[in-house]
Amino acid sequence: MSRERVTVDTEEMGPLDTFRQFFSLERDVLVLSVAMFAFSLGFQMTNRFLSEYLVFLGATGVVVGVWGTFGNVIGAVYPYYGGIISDRIGSRYALTVFGFLSAIGFGIWLAAAFVDPIDLGIVTIEPWVWVFVGLLLAQCWKSFGIGGHYAIVKQATEPSRLARGFASTETFRRTAFLLAPLIVAVLVADEFMPGFLWVLVIGVVFALLGTAVQHVMYEAEDDGVGDEFDGFGQLVDDLRALPEPLRPLLVADTFVRFANGMVYVFFILVITQIMEIGWTLSLPAVGTIDLAPAALFGVLSGIEMLVALLTMAPAAMLAERVGLKPVVGLGFFVYAAFPILLIFAPENVWILLALFAFSGLRFAGLPAHKALIVGPAEQGAGGRVTGSYYVVRGAVVIPSGILGGVLWQYVTPEVAFTLASIIGMIGVVYFVIFGREFDAYRRA
């Protein structure tokens, strides 16, 4: 059964058009996107709030920074080997295993709240340690699945329409990103705990549902199988063979992601611990609602995702007219500027709403960014190229969380966030000067 590429002839493309395009995409992309929705809902309901959860379980600012670095280590190691596994045994079986492991990870996060400290004499295992253990599993689908996601969309989409293909799957996925923080805001409206425990329960359920959907509906007979993995030497060869346009993108992306890694896990703590700002709303037929700081962060995250949904599709269409590079550059700029704007923002809800809306624009460049990564790859090697790219970026970004945590606890949060923006802007300038365009878009 041969795969047919999907082309889109419409001149204009808005958020609703991406949903229509999404449902017309090749079956594998459709099934993958449904699974992405389920896992994204579970992961976004939990991950952005886990820093507050760690503090609740007794973690310090440095531990939160180590948490960020721990996630960076996983983000560096998992994608490459996930791409290899995806290319070797096929995406269906790989993603099923990854999904099941993720569900177990969510369950460990939930169990951490009910575990007492374990005194081993020399060292005491605090409850927050199990959150780290849970991440080893919970991150499986998100990180291991990157290679399968890129490879499947590349196989099903014309080269000059890759950004649109990613926009369709990303818009569907980011709908979960919009709903997730709003669900959390409702559950933690009065106080963070015990509402967050219910959030974790929902995360387990959606991870299991996503695993079942992708396993049952994915067409295994259409799933490509690649060569066996030859060890570390193959990784080196794959890195040397990275397509030329990816190299300046990788350098710039690494600067930007290092900056984001320094402070991302602290965004919620800026709202809940530094500003300690909530929100009182008076709604018709509902009355007065008092949102706790953690709930306000959920609303702010929802606004961020709403802007992302409204802008990703038009940005993907714009990329076909002006090229991928300007759109990717915009996303990098927003990534870099947001930390310094947030840490020095007035304690005003409306200003914070506007600021998080601005942050949503970083996702506008995401489909173009993904197209620029996987576009130059040879057909059938999308998973490996993507994994190679992410393993390099992730390896360099590893220490960013610890650096941010040390600055947060032992210097000042303002210094941490300011330095993050400076590092991010270095990446933006580098990309503006040296960034390359994907040939298919240069001809589009």
pLDDT at 314: 85
Average pLDDT per block of 10 residues along the chain, 444 residues long: 42 50 55 75 88 94 93 77 67 78 93 92 91 91 61 61 62 77 89 91 89 71 47 62 77 94 95 92 76 93 90 81 86 96 96 96 82 61 63 86 95 97 97 77 47
Of how many residues is the chain composed? 444
Query: What predicted TM-score, i.e. pTM, was given to this entire model?
Result: 0.81
Contact call for residues 34 and 215 (beta carbons, < 8 A): no
CA–CA distance, 261 with 401 (Å, rounded to integer): 6
Q: What tokens were used for 303? A: 């606004």
Contact call for residues 428 and 333 (beta carbons, < 8 A): yes
Q: Which CATH number fits domain 15-442: 3.40.50.1860, 1.20.1250.20, 3.40.50.1820, 3.30.300.30?
A: 1.20.1250.20
Q: In Å, what is the CA distance from 303 to each residue of 136, 355, 363?
A: 29, 10, 12
pLDDT at 269: 96
Of 363, 384, 374, 390, the closest CA to residue 73 belongs to: 390
Given CA atoms 360, 74, 43, 238 in this order, what sign does their dihedral have? positive
Contact call for residues 272 and 294 (beta carbons, < 8 A): yes
379 contact partners, CB below 8 Å, separation of at least 6: 154, 155
DSSP-derived 3-state class of residue 113: coil
Contact call for residues 110 and 45 (beta carbons, < 8 A): no
CA–CA distance, 54 with 67 (Å, rounded to integer): 9
CA–CA distance, 438 with 335 (Å, rounded to integer): 22
pLDDT at 114: 94
293 contact partners, CB below 8 Å, separation of at least 6: 271, 272, 275, 276, 277, 278
Helical (H) or strand (E) element with 124: strand 124-125
pLDDT at 9: 44
Given CA atoms 337, 339, 344, 349 in this order, what sign does their dihedral have? positive
CA–CA distance, 369 with 387 (Å, rounded to integer): 15
Per DSSP, what are the bridge partners of residue 283? Answer: 287
State the CB neighbour count (10 A cutoff) for residue 410. 10
CA–CA distance, 268 with 52 (Å, rounded to integer): 7
Helical (H) or strand (E) element with 366: helix 366-374
DSSP-derived 3-state class of residue 250: helix
DSSP-derived 3-state class of residue 291: strand
CA 48 vs. chain centroid, Å, equals 10
pLDDT at 280: 86
Contact call for residues 265 and 48 (beta carbons, < 8 A): no
Helical (H) or strand (E) element with 279: strand 279-283
